[in-house]
Homo-oligomer: A and B are copies of this chain.
Amino acid sequence: MVDGIKKKQIVIIGGDAAGMSAASQVKRQRPDWSVIVLEQGDYVSYAACGMPYYVEGLIEEFEQLVEITPQVFREKRGIDLRLDYRAIAIDPAAQTVAFRRTDGTEDTLNYNELLIATGARPLVPKGMKTGKRVATINNLNEARHLQQLAAGGDLRRVAVIGGGFIGLEMAEAFAARGLETCLVHRREHLSRQFEEEISTLIKEKLQAGGVELHFDASIDSIEERRNGVRIKTADEELDVDLALLALGVTPNSELARDAGLELGVGGSIVVDDHLRTSAEHIYAAGDCAQGRRMVDGAPIFSPLALKANREGMLAGLNMAGIDAVDRGSLGTGITKVFDLGIARTGLSFAEAEKAGLQPVKNLITTRSRARYYPGSAPLRVLVIASRRDGRVLGAQLAGPVDAVKRIDTFAVIIQQGLNLDQVLTLDLAYAPPFSPVWDPVLLAARTTRKMI
């Protein structure tokens, strides 16, 4: 007993962003508690979002992607981290987890509180098989495999299947390596995360960067052959040396499902605003856990890094007996396609319509810096606001890489529920190397207001 709190044993399944954030948080709050992490792989706490840049060759050693080593977690943070341990079953009634070691032996662990942080895995359509040349990029071993292939000289032509964030980043990575790169996408426009107007700019940038676009292309089959991969779509056959599947991810929620836990959007684990699942003493956090959209509270599946890190931290606090509420997320995302920065936050127009918020959409072209300052370039700002009350619901940016982090300004605006008039009162920074006098955020609000 310390501070009237009973000493507990915390078990965490999964040693990536959410799991290790939670483990660290529990040990910070309760140094004398036992925290055991079961991780089925060889690595913990690596920067998955950095993998495309490693394949591109911008990062020399894949060890640079390891944020914190197992040694640090074990020795400095006192976490009982068990690599190559695979959790195989949860018994919520008995409060036990069964696991298997690499040598095949099995055992069980008792827990007072359990966190499921099993992450997500790439979607592989039924009937398709991954292999040496039909790859996914879901962990450091896969990243290393792809990096070796891309750098090795025997790839000439590759296909990236899927136009989400990872697909775009991997298309850039291969093209920047000098490979003939096809981007195959099933719809006419990119990920629904971006409005068509922004999608069009991205497509133009991909083409300018030498990426061959195969859009509106539903895939019938992907077949690994002796000398490469044949991709069949409704309209054509593509022969490439490598196909990368980037069709999104699906939550690793089988353990939770088999234990009788409630599942939600896309099979993600339902959690409340304290990251508690439907079973007592079991929490879930990160990609495997269902999220909540800030604007309207709608349940979402949103496998993003900050969400995983934050949910891990909050679950850790709650397991340690410290009340911590999760406020949900806006799906804020950012990336670059060659020298085009793109970013988004909040609702899309379609989501806002579906939520009954009567949206208007306004796209403006302004400048990233004062018109006359060197390097000033067009910056597109798309604002989605409610016709009912002028509230800002969503925003998207496309322009110079150094200009699109201002999506954060919109993220705070949306989270705070500001309307366009309130946005116009914001005292944002101005100097010619950074912005026009009226920052693009303000200018977009000014012009959107006229539509309402």
Partner-B contacts on A (CB < 8 A): 17, 47, 49-50, 53, 58-59, 64-65, 67, 165, 294, 304-307, 309-310, 327, 329-336, 341, 343, 345, 370-374, 401-402, 404-409, 411-413, 415-416, 418, 424-435, 437-439, 441
Contact B411 A345 (CB under 8 A): no
Q: Which residues of B contact A418 (CB under 8 A)?
A: 416
Q: Which residues of B contact A329 (CB under 8 A)?
A: 427
Contact A438 B309 (CB under 8 A): yes
Q: Which residues of B contact A50 (CB under 8 A)?
A: 370, 372-373, 432
Contact B332 A433 (CB under 8 A): no
Whether A430 touches B47, Cβ cut-off 8 Å, given contacts A373-B59, A437-B306, is no
Q: Which residues of B contact A304 (CB under 8 A)?
A: 430
Q: Which residues of B contact A430 (CB under 8 A)?
A: 49, 304-306, 332, 334
Copies in the complex: 2
Contact B412 A47 (CB under 8 A): no
Q: Which residues of B contact A434 (CB under 8 A)?
A: 334, 336, 341, 401, 404-405
Q: Which residues of B contact A309 (CB under 8 A)?
A: 437-438
Q: How far is the CA of A429 from the CA of B343 in the complex (A)?
A: 8
Known: A67-B371, A407-B429. 14 other contacts (CB 8 A): A50-B373, A53-B433, A58-B373, A59-B372, A304-B430, A329-B427, A334-B430, A334-B435, A404-B434, A405-B406, A405-B429, A412-B426, A415-B427, A416-B418
Q: How far is the CA of A22 from the CA of B67 in the complex (A)?
A: 53
Contact A428 B402 (CB under 8 A): no
6 contacts between A and B (CB under 8 A): A53-B373, A332-B429, A401-B434, A405-B429, A409-B409, A416-B418
- What distance in Å separates the Cβ of A45 from its nearest Cβ neighbour in chain B? 11
| Residue of B401, B408, B424 touching A406 (CB-CB under 8 A) | B408
Q: Which residues of B contact A333 (CB under 8 A)?
A: 429, 431
Contact A425 B429 (CB under 8 A): no
Q: Which residues of B contact A413 (CB under 8 A)?
A: 412
Whether A405 touches B437, Cβ cut-off 8 Å, given contacts A373-B59, A429-B343, is no
